[in-house]
A and B are shown apart, each in its own frame.
Chain A
Amino acid sequence: MNKLLQMENLERHYETPAGVVKALDGVTIEISQGERVILLGPSGSGKTTLLNCLSSLDSPTGGAYSFQGEEVPRNHSEKMTSFRRENIGYVFQFFNLLQDLTVLENILLIQEIAGKKDEARALELLKLVGLESEVNRFPGEISGGQQQRVAIARSIAKRPNLLLGDELTGNLDTETSQKVMTALVKACQEENITSVFVTHDEGLIKYATRVIRIDSGKIVSDELTKASDEE
């Protein structure tokens, strides 16, 4: 498999009145094309900080981070935004769909921002996540699980190289979580999208090809899963 990204000895330290907080303390990982990675760890372990650094929402204070062989921009808001626009898809815990736009328009908006507007693909993705009958409805008119599936379709609509999600089923019941994750895995497989998800839920491991556990800003384990063997 082709290497998609590489982090080497990555650090994210914060200066606080109580002293320096090491949210990430020398993280080294490599993620290859097509992997579905789950980041597990207790609260405050640094997994969300790692996700923020992966997405270039946050700038590491030390170490190296390259994406497709190129250094990822840091400390430059516009370049970081540009990196996200070109490479990253993001799924939020609370979906964050724009409520003035319909389901379809939410997807078209992201395509438009990325300069890849393609209504046929947007409709195809909605079909993929099982929402072809809801295209003209507003987010406020559909259920939470449906909204999260729209968010997934939105996140992959511009064909990102890397799809990220932070507790993306944290706001859903078990049955809906399974539906959402099934839709997500299906979409990632069909689109050959690499994904990294942060979660507390050990039950989601079955959807991943790799599980990385993190604690106190350090990686404590990094294992391939059964799904990885099957694929």
Chain B
Amino acid sequence: MIDVRAWVLWAVTALVVASSTRNPLYLVLLLLVVAVVDKAHAPGHRQRAVLSPLRFAAVAVPLSVLFNGLTAHLGDTVLFRLPTWLPLLSGSVTLEALVFGATNGLTLTAIFSGFVVFNQVTPVRDLVQLTPRAFHEAGVVLSIALTFVPQTTHSLARIREAQAVRGHRIRGLRDWLPIFVPLLVSGLERSMGLAEAMVARGYGAVTDRSQPLRLQALLALGLFLLLGGWLAFLFLPSWKALALGGILVGVALIVGVLWLAGRAVPRTAYRTHRWTARDTLVVLGCGLTLAATLLPLPLVDRTTLAYAPFPRLTLPAFDPLIGLGLLGLLVPVYHATRNTQHATRNTAQ
């Protein structure tokens, strides 16, 4: 099983690539790579998929084409003209605007697909374990909420059944009242019991649990430097170097406060996941993809990442080295294939 931190990097890399290009060829390649990873990891990993990428694309791409075609009257290849009496929409509808709309739809679909895969392959408990130790209380709230979600769903079903036995039917919004109020009250009763149990087990049994003054001051200073540096970066071009320094020091202070606050919170785990060579391979694959798309490497033509069909539609350029770099995101497929082979061998034995 791949470490959840490697999956986080994988999802962020897919997001960075999708955001860095408007070239439809790279976007289609990225979508294919994501689809292959999704397919390889699908068996046994389907966890939380409410909307599939295909259904998302079926809505996002046509909507984007329609919106861009009707509102961006740019490009030389005029398909037809909308009458002048139409407010906001009047003008020529061009092939170039439709293609650019489709490209935007593809970008959205690529970002969405990457995170759908991420959501499906990462167990919620692993994500919760990623919570920094400084967020101890936040982590407890998150754990309680995630634990109570199935119970709440169960309660909802029971209350609906009980009301149905009494002849209650849901026909409109008003009919939710006899369901929502018992759900809320029973949930609050459970939280009362939980709070008593937590207190009985010594939760918060210290006299002063507030943040030390020193950490509060450092956090405020970090935020001040971050905000000040960012404002200076935007509005005082001659102070750019100083502004960047302020931003970096601010970020470092905030991260430092997190680390210092986390040190005071011991954490134990029943079963910890060990970082393995396969996780390192995933990281290297992501590094290859990021290097090909972000770094000014010799022989790599990064100008092909940008593509605009205006004023006349042309075929987008394609650099094979960038294409190869995108294949770095396929590393998780190799692991999935090996896992499948192991499983098949074990079954045969």
- Does B associate with A? no
Where the two chains meet, the residues of B that have a C-beta atom closer than 8 Å to any C-beta of A are: none
